């Protein structure tokens, strides 16, 4: 049979207690400590459970239960003193059931051992009245609380982990916020396109030579903007066809402040045309190239005013409101507000070469 492995124990335990009855005080702590150490060492050697035993008992404190109380005066309560001590114990054992707690309790675990201990103490001064001793009380073992500075995850590592987590949350929040803004802008753009379609406008990517704002449809009247024009000259009264009239060369023309106007139009003349467009979609694409006045860029075949407008016509007014400084989008918004009207007056300028 394989012998059981030998276990070596070396431990110091504080808070051990035993009660000595019949006396009120331990006279000499040093004498008690030596006598108790010698007695315990003998018990361990005779146990047959331990080898290489080293023991040292050190007196710590005492609590007297003697007094002048009524119960003690009547002899109802025996005199006693509770001794608290510390014991250092080192030994080897092959008995796995002989734990440290059992080893600490062993010297006074039987009545025979207690009687022998009483006899040992009575050899000292002050123990003549000793009548009994109690078994040894071993304090409950409390598992130590791990020190965060010496075990587990270091405190600085925990702080770094927390900071990384906070940073990750901030980054995630910014990403979500950016996506929401992008989605919001996209939805706004789609809604704008829907508005343009409602009034006959549709978004269009600018081609070469076109401005950033190119939109389908148009609207404006120019009789009032051009001082010399009269409503009677508009052919809109004749079933919505175009009315044309030569732009006056008087100084009150809307382009009179531009010194290059006459040079640009040498060999031709400008016509101001009023078009009365029906409600709904107009099917006309306009552009604002180089931040200039809105210009007709394309006309759909299905446009209700396809026979009245031409590519290159400048849209200058919608229902007599000047739109030359507006972008195509702003013009489209203006027209969309009027999409339910039975008629919308669009004023355009068309350059016509002299024949």
- In percent, how much of the chain has pLDDT > 90? 40
The whole-number pLDDT of residue 258 equals 56
Q: Could you tell me the pLDDT band of residue 211, with boundaries at 50, 70 and 90?
A: very low
Using the Cα atoms of residue 199, residue 200, residue 202 and residue 208 in order, give the sign of their dihedral: negative
pLDDT at 122 over 70: yes
Which class for 32: exposed (0-12), middle (13-18), buried (19 or more C-beta within 10 A)?
A: buried
- Rounded Cα distance between 25 and 285, Å, is 114
Long-range CB contacts for residues 302-307, cutoff 8 Å, separation at least 24: 304/277, 304/278, 304/280, 305/275, 305/277, 305/346
DSSP-assigned beta bridge partners for residue 61: 84
pLDDT at 277 over 70: yes
Q: Could you tell me the pLDDT band of residue 203, with boundaries at 50, 70 and 90?
A: very low
Both tokens of 215, joined, read 């939109």
Task: Say which range, 40-49, 153-162, 252-261, has the weakest mean pLDDT.
Answer: 252-261
Query: Across residues 127-144, what is the average pLDDT?
Result: 83
The whole-number pLDDT of residue 196 equals 47
Query: Across residues 303-330, what is the average pLDDT?
Result: 91
Task: Say which range, 66-80, 92-106, 159-173, 242-256, has the weakest mean pLDDT.
Answer: 242-256
More confident residue, 329 or 206: 329
Which string of b and e fits 172-195 if b means at least 16 CB within 10 Å? eeeeeeeeeeeeeeeeeeeebbeb
- Rounded Cα distance between 45 and 279, Å, is 118
The whole-number pLDDT of residue 260 equals 53
The whole-number pLDDT of residue 328 equals 84
Phi-psi region of 209 (alpha: psi -120 to 50; beta: other; left: phi over 0): left
- Rounded Cα distance between 224 and 217, Å, is 22
Number of alpha helices (DSSP H) and beta strands (DSSP E) in the chain: 7, 12
The whole-number pLDDT of residue 206 equals 42
What's this model's pTM, rounded to 2 decimal places? 0.40
Which residue, chain included where needed, has tokens 């600085």?
156
Confirm if 235 and 224 have CB atoms less than 8 A apart: no
The whole-number pLDDT of residue 39 equals 94
Confirm if 213 and 193 have CB atoms less than 8 A apart: no
Confirm if 217 and 281 have CB atoms less than 8 A apart: yes
More confident residue, 337 or 41: 41
How do residues 71-86 score in pLDDT, each as one tens digit? 454 555 689 999 999 9
Query: Across residues 244-253, what is the average pLDDT?
Result: 42
- Rounded Cα distance between 94 and 189, Å, is 86
């Amino acid at each position: 049979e394989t012998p059981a492995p030998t276990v070596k124990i070396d431990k110091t335990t504080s808070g051990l207690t035993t009660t000595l009855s019949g006396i009120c005080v331990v006279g000499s702590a040093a004498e008690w400590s030596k006598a108790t150490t010698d007695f315990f060492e003998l018990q361990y050697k005779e146990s047959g459970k331990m080898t290489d035993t080293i023991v040292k008992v050190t007196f710590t404190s005492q609590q007297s239960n003697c007094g002048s109380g009524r119960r003690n005066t009547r002899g109802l309560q025996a005199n006693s003193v509770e001794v608290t001590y510390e014991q250092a114990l080192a030994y080897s054992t092959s008995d796995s059931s002989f734990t440290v707690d059992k080893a600490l309790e062993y010297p006074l675990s039987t009545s025979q051992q207690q009687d022998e201990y009483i006899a040992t103490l009575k050899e000292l001064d002050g123990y003549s009245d000793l009548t009994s001793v109690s078994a040894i009380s071993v304090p409950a073992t409390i598992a130590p609380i791990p020190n965060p500075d010496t075990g587990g995850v270091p405190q600085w590592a925990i702080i770094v982990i927390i900071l990384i987590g906070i940073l990750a949350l901030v980054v995630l929040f910014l990403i979500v916020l950016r996506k929401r803004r992008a989605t919001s802008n996209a939805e706004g753009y789609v809604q704008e396109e829907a508005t343009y379609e409602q009034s006959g406008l549709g978004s269009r990517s600018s081609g070469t030579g076109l401005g950033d704002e190119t939109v389908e449809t148009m609207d404006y009247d120019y009789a009032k903007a051009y001082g010399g024009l009269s409503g009677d000259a508009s052919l809109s009264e004749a079933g919505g066809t175009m009315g044309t009239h030569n732009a006056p060369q008087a100084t009150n023309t809307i382009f009179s402040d531009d010194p290059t106007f006459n040079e640009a139009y040498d060999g031709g003349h400008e016509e101001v045309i009023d078009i009365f467009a029906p409600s709904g979609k107009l099917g006309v694409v306009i552009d604002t190239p180089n931040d200039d006045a809105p210009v007709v860029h394309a006309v759909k075949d299905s446009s209700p005013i396809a026979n009245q407008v031409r590519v290159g016509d400048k849209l200058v007014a919608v229902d007599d409101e000047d739109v030359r400084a507006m972008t195509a989008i702003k013009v489209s918004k203006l027209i969309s507000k009027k999409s339910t009207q039975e008629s919308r007056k669009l004023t355009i300028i068309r350059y016509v070469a002299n024949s």
